[in-house]
Structure 1
Amino acid sequence: MSRTGMRLKMPLSAPVCRAGGGSRPGRNGVSGFAMKIVFIQLDPIIRAGIVSLSACVKKAGHQADLLIVSEEKNLIEKLKSMSPDLVGFPLVSGMHEQTMAIAEKIKSETHALTIFGGPHATFYPEEIIRHEAADIVCLGEGEEALVELLDSMSRGKNYLDTRNMWFKNGGKIVRNALRPFNEDLDALPLQDRSIYYKYELLRRQPSKDFVFTRGCPYRCSFCFNSHFRELYGGQGKFVRRPGVGRVIDEIVAVRDNYGLESVMIMDDLFIADAEWLGRFVREYKKRVNLPFQCEVRADLVTENIIGELKEAGCTAVAVGVESGVERIRNEVLKKNLGDEKIISACKAITKAGILLKTYNMVAIPGETLADAFKTVEFNIRLNTDYAWCSVLRIYPGTPLAHEAVRMGLLDENFSLKDFGNSYLLSGTPLKLKNKREILNLQRFFPLAVKFPALFPLIKRLIKLPPNRVFDIIFQATYAFLTISTTKIGLKNFFTLGLKTKNALKT
C-alpha cells in the first residue's frame, strides 16, 4: 500500500493484485482476489446505472461503494481510507467538466486506477480517454463488462480485450467493440441502493424514483437514444423491459428497507405495453398500494389506461409536449405526435381527476418568439397543472445538432459548455431572433400557464434585460409547484437543490 493509503496503479498490460492479500471465491466458485470499486459522483441524485452496476459487482463476489462529493467533508481522505482497486466516475453531459476536474485531483493525489462510464463517456469516448485523469472508459451498458474486468483483474489475467472497454496502454489506446445488449433484464440482481441510502439526505426522501425500461423505439432528434441505437449497430434487442414481478420486487425492496410514501415512475414507455401494464397495476395495488406518479407518451394514452392508473393509485401523469407548434414538434424535434393526440390524452388525464404535468422546451432551432408564445397558450388550453419548461440543450452528435449547424444557428465546433451548467437557468448559443425574450419567457413559463391572466404582463416584462429577479421568480414558481405536487417537502427540496447547485460549482 502506498503512503497515500491507496493501492498504486499497475500498468494495464500487467495483472493487478490486491495489496494485502486475502482471497475469497469469485464468481462461480473460481478463486481470486475480491476487487473493490468506489464510484464518485458530484450530486445527491440516485443513478439507475450505478445501482445496477453495484448489484452486479457484489453478486460476482467483489465490493462496491459510492462517495457523493456534495456529502463528503474530506473526499480524498475518505477515498484513501476505502482502499479501492478501481475508482469509477459516472459522466453526465453538462456536469462532465466538473467531474473530470474532481477525477484529475483524485488522480494526482492517489494515483488511483480510474474508469469512466455513463452517457457522456459513451458518446464522447475519444474526449474522455485522452484526458490525463482517465485510464479506462466503459461504453454503453456496463454490467457484464465491469464484472468481467474485475474478474480478470482479480485472477491476474490480461483484460485489455474486455468488450465495451477502452484502455490506455503504454502510450496507445486499445478500443474494444461493444457486446450485444443484455436482453434478459430479469436475470440482473435487484438494484443495490444501499450505497446511496447510507446518506440520510437520500434515504429520508418520502418519494423515490424508479426506471424500468431500457431503450426507446422513437427517434426524437434531440434525444440520445437514436445515437445509442446506432452505436450498437443492431446487436441485440434495443427496447427491453423486465417482468412485472421483478419491477414490483424492486419497489417492495425499497419500501421495506428504506421507507417509501410515494413512487415516481420515470419511464417514458411505462404504458407502452397494455398487457404488461394491466398485470402491473393489479400487482402494484396488491403488493405496494402507494400513491404513484408516472410519465406517458400522449399517443399511447386511452381512457381505459388512465382508468387503470387511477384505480392503482396514480396521482399525477407527465406528458411530453415539447412545443405547442405541431410543425416544430414533428419536423424539427421529430416527435411524430400531433396536437389532437396530446389534447385527447390530457383531457383523459384531467377528466379522471389526475394532476397533469407537461414537459416543454424553448430556444428550439427555427423557433420564433410567436412560436414560444404558442407553447404557453397550448399548455393553458390543456389545463396543465404544472408546466415544466427548459431551455433546449443540444448535444453534439445528435441529429438536431447536425441540423442546427446546417441551418447556420450553431457553430460547427460548439460544445455543451456554451449552454451553461444549470439545468434550471440555462442559456443557449443558438443564433435566434428575439433570443433574450425567449430565454426570459422560460423563466416565466410555469407562472404564465398556472395564472393565464398574467400572460399579457409577462409578454411585456420579457422585453427587459435578463436579471436576477426573473431567475428568482422562476425558482420560486418551480419550488411552489414541485412541493405542492410531490411529497418532497420544503426542507428536502431546498437541501437537495442547494447541494446540487454547489456540486455544479465544484
Structure 2
Amino acid sequence: MSIHRHSRHVVLVFPRFRYKSGDIPIGLATLAAYIRERVPDMSVSILDTTFSPSFAFVERYLQKHRPDIVGVFVDVLMAEDAAKVAAIAKKHGAAVIAGGPHATMAPEAVLKEAVFDAVCVGEGEETFREYIEAFYGNRNFAAVKGLWFRQADGTLYKTPERGFIEEIDALPRPAFDLFDMERYIRIFIQMDSHDPALRGVSLTVSRGCPFNCTFCQPTVHRTLGRKVRIRSPQSVVADLAYLKGAYRIECFYLSDDLLTVLPDWIREFCALLESRRLDLPWGCNTRVDTIDADMMARMKRAGLVKLKVGIESITDRIRNGLYNKQITRLQITDTLAAAEKLGIQVTGFIMVGAPTETAAEVWDTIRFAATSSLDEMVLSVTTPFPGSALHDHVIKQGWRLPSRFRLYNYYQVRRPRMSDDQISNARLFVYKKAANAYFYLHPSRLATTIRSVVGGAWLRKLLIKLRRV
C-alpha cells in the first residue's frame, strides 16, 4: 500500500541516540507549538529518538510520514548523528533545515554536509515560520532573516541576523503532547537525590545570559542573546498546574542558569507557588554570586529542596582566569553553608582536564568537592566546543582539538590531549573514576550511596547516570 504525503507536514527531529535523559527538549517543544499555532493548515510532529535510538526507526518514520520539511536539532554531540538523519530525510524527498547551538555557531560546517539545505541561526520560532511560508510560497528564502541556505548553484547565502523575541510570554505552551511524556517522567533524574520515586519534569522558562564564561560563550549570546528574557511567574505557574493535572507530576526542576539573577521574579514566583498550593517540591540552577541565605529561605518556603551550582574548579587560576567564571571561593563556601543550614540539597558542577591544569589542581578540586557539604557532584571533562572562547584560546595556542564532533564529549575522556604537557587521557580517566569513588563513598554520603544501589527507583536512575561516566 502506498503512503500519501500530507499536504503540509513538518517533522522536527531530536536526534538523541546516546545519553538518555528525562529532560524533554523544551526548545523543540516550543518551536513545534509555535508553528502549530502560527502556520495555518500545518501538521507538525516530533521524531524523538530518545527512546528509539536507531536509524532504522528514523527510516521507518520518515518513509511512513513523508514530510515536506524536516527540521533537525544539532548540538556538537549530536552533529554526526544529525547528518545521518538529514541524509535519510533527503532520501525521502524532504527539505532539511538545521537549528540549535552547533548550527548557530558553525553554519558553514553544517552546510558542508550536502544533506542540509538550510541553517537557522539563533532563535528558531520566527525564522522557521518564515522559512516554511517561503517554502510553500514564493521560495524567496533570501527574505528570511537569520538563515543560511544553499542556492540552486550550490553556493551558500547568508541573510541578515534576526533580533531576539523580546516578549517570550507571547510564545505558546510547549507541545508536551507531541512527546512520550510518561516515559520521560519515568526516567526523570533531576530530583532523585531528594526522592527518586517522584514523577517530575524539567522546564526552561528564560532565555539569554549576561555572563562571559569561556566554555559556553559566545555560543549562548549568539543563540539566545545577552539579555535575560523570562516568562512571567503567572505563566510558569499555570504550566505547572497544567502538568500536574495532565501528567500527574509531583515535582519539577527549572534548568535555567540564571533565575536567581532576577530577585523580583523569584519573589513573585514563590508567592504564586504558595498561593496556588501546588505542593510541588522543586529545584533549580543558580550562580553562587546571585543568591544569598534570605533568597534561599524564601525559595524553601515555596517548596525548594535542591540547588545546582557551577563550581567548575576550586583553583582561582582555572575558574576565573581560564574559564572567566568570576566567582570567589568565599561565595562558593558561603552558598554551600547557607544551603546546608536551611536543609537544601546542593549539586556541584565540576570540570577537570582544563588546558594547563595540573594534577595537583585537579585533586584540589576533587578534594574540595568530596569533603564539602555537597550532596551530589556532576563531574565532566573540560571540552572546548567549537565557537566558544575557550576553543578559540586553544586554537591560538596551537594546541590540538578533535577532528570529529563525536569526540567533543564532556561525559567521556576521549578527546585528544590538547598539548604534550597536558594530563594524559588515561590519567584523566583514572582521576574521574577515583573522584566519583572518593565523593560518593565519603563517610558523610556513604549511607545515601548504599541506599541508592539497593534497588527500585534509586538503582534504575543511578544506572542512567552511570552510563555517562
Q: CA 1:143 to 1:280, structure 2 compared with 1: closer, same or farther past 3 Å? A: same
The answer for the alignment partner of 1:229 in structure 2 is 221
User: In structure 2, what is the Cα distance between the partners aligned to 1:69 and 1:159?
Assistant: 29
Q: Does 1:90 align with 2:68?
A: no
Residue type at the aligned position of 1:37: V
Q: Does 1:148 align with 2:93?
A: no
Q: Does 1:271 align with 2:260?
A: yes
- Any idea what SS the aligned residue of 1:120 has? helix
Residue type at the aligned position of 1:308: R
Q: CA deviation at 1:4?
A: 7.6
- Any idea what SS the aligned residue of 1:71 has? coil
**Are the counterparts in 2 of residues 6 and 84 from structure 1 also a CA contact under 8 Å?**
no
- List per-residue Cα deviations over 1:391-410 (Å, max 9, x = no partner): 111112322122223344x2
The answer for the alignment partner of 1:56 in structure 2 is 34
Q: CA 1:189 to 1:78, structure 2 compared with 1: closer, same or farther past 3 Å? A: same
Q: Does 1:36 align with 2:10?
A: yes
User: In structure 1, what is the Cα distance between the partners aligned to 2:449 and 2:325?
Assistant: 30
User: In structure 2, what is the Cα distance between the partners aligned to 1:429 and 1:481?
Assistant: 36
Q: CA 1:92 to 1:356, structure 2 compared with 1: closer, same or farther past 3 Å? A: same
User: In structure 2, what is the Cα distance between the partners aligned to 1:152 and 1:332?
Assistant: 44
- Any idea what SS the aligned residue of 2:361 has? helix
Q: CA 1:497 to 1:368, structure 2 compared with 1: closer, same or farther past 3 Å? A: closer
Q: Does 1:423 align with 2:401?
A: no
User: In structure 2, what is the Cα distance between the partners aligned to 1:291 and 1:481?
Assistant: 24
Relative to the length of structure 2, the TM-score reads 0.85
User: In structure 1, what is the Cα distance between the partners aligned to 2:450 and 2:115?
Assistant: 41
Q: CA 1:377 to 1:248, structure 2 compared with 1: closer, same or farther past 3 Å? A: same
**Are the counterparts in 1 of residues 355 and 418 from structure 2 also a CA contact under 8 Å?**
yes
Q: Does 1:168 align with 2:157?
A: no
- Any idea what SS the aligned residue of 1:298 has? coil
- Any idea what SS the aligned residue of 1:361 has? strand
**Are the counterparts in 2 of residues 167 and 173 from structure 1 also a CA contact under 8 Å?**
yes
Q: CA deviation at 1:245?
A: 0.8
The answer for the alignment partner of 2:202 in structure 1 is 209
Q: How does 1:347-366 map to 2 (within 5 A)?
A: 347-366=337-356
The answer for the alignment partner of 1:192 in structure 2 is 175
User: In structure 2, what is the Cα distance between the partners aligned to 1:154 and 1:418?
Assistant: 35
The answer for the alignment partner of 1:81 in structure 2 is 64
User: In structure 1, what is the Cα distance between the partners aligned to 2:450 and 2:413?
Assistant: 17
Residue type at the aligned position of 1:321: I
User: In structure 2, what is the Cα distance between the partners aligned to 1:175 and 1:433?
Assistant: 39
Q: CA 1:150 to 1:491, structure 2 compared with 1: closer, same or farther past 3 Å? A: same
User: In structure 2, what is the Cα distance between the partners aligned to 1:362 and 1:323?
Assistant: 7
- Any idea what SS the aligned residue of 2:258 has? coil
Q: CA 1:311 to 1:377, structure 2 compared with 1: closer, same or farther past 3 Å? A: same
- Sequence identity percentage: 24
User: In structure 1, what is the Cα distance between the partners aligned to 2:220 and 2:287?
Assistant: 20
Q: Does 1:125 align with 2:95?
A: no
- List per-residue Cα deviations over 1:98-119 (Å, max 9, x = no partner): 22123223323x1211111111
**Are the counterparts in 2 of residues 395 and 416 from structure 1 also a CA contact under 8 Å?**
no
Q: CA 1:89 to 1:389, structure 2 compared with 1: closer, same or farther past 3 Å? A: same
Q: How does 1:241-320 map to 2 (within 5 A)?
A: 241-287=230-276, 288-320=278-310
- List per-residue Cα deviations over 1:440-493 (Å, max 9, x = no partner): 111222321233479xxxxxxxxxxxxxxxxxxxxxx9x969968xx9654466
User: In structure 1, what is the Cα distance between the partners aligned to 2:112 and 2:452?
Assistant: 43
User: In structure 2, what is the Cα distance between the partners aligned to 1:271 and 1:482?
Assistant: 32
Q: CA 1:491 to 1:343, structure 2 compared with 1: closer, same or farther past 3 Å? A: closer
**Are the counterparts in 2 of residues 191 and 250 from structure 1 also a CA contact under 8 Å?**
no
User: In structure 1, what is the Cα distance between the partners aligned to 2:145 and 2:457?
Assistant: 41
Match of residue 327, structure 1, among 317, 322, 344: 317
**Are the counterparts in 2 of residues 363 and 439 from structure 1 also a CA contact under 8 Å?**
no
**Are the counterparts in 1 of residues 70 and 89 from structure 2 also a CA contact under 8 Å?**
no
Residue type at the aligned position of 1:54: A
Residue type at the aligned position of 1:430: M
The answer for the alignment partner of 1:115 in structure 2 is 97
**Are the counterparts in 1 of residues 356 and 422 from structure 2 also a CA contact under 8 Å?**
no
User: In structure 1, what is the Cα distance between the partners aligned to 2:363 and 2:305?
Assistant: 29
Larger Rg belongs to:
1
Where does structure 1 lack aligned partners over 5 or more consecutive residues?
Answer: 8-17, 20-33, 455-476, 502-506
Aligned residues: 441
Q: CA deviation at 1:433?
A: 3.9
Q: How does 1:351-390 map to 2 (within 5 A)?
A: 351-390=341-380
User: In structure 2, what is the Cα distance between the partners aligned to 1:422 and 1:325?
Assistant: 20
Where does structure 2 lack aligned partners over 5 or more consecutive residues?
Answer: 189-198
Q: CA 1:91 to 1:66, structure 2 compared with 1: closer, same or farther past 3 Å? A: same
Q: Does 1:238 align with 2:227?
A: yes
User: In structure 2, what is the Cα distance between the partners aligned to 1:356 and 1:381?
Assistant: 13
Q: Cα RMSD between the aligned structures?
A: 3.0
Q: CA 1:123 to 1:488, structure 2 compared with 1: closer, same or farther past 3 Å? A: farther
- Any idea what SS the aligned residue of 2:141 has? coil
Q: CA 1:162 to 1:401, structure 2 compared with 1: closer, same or farther past 3 Å? A: same
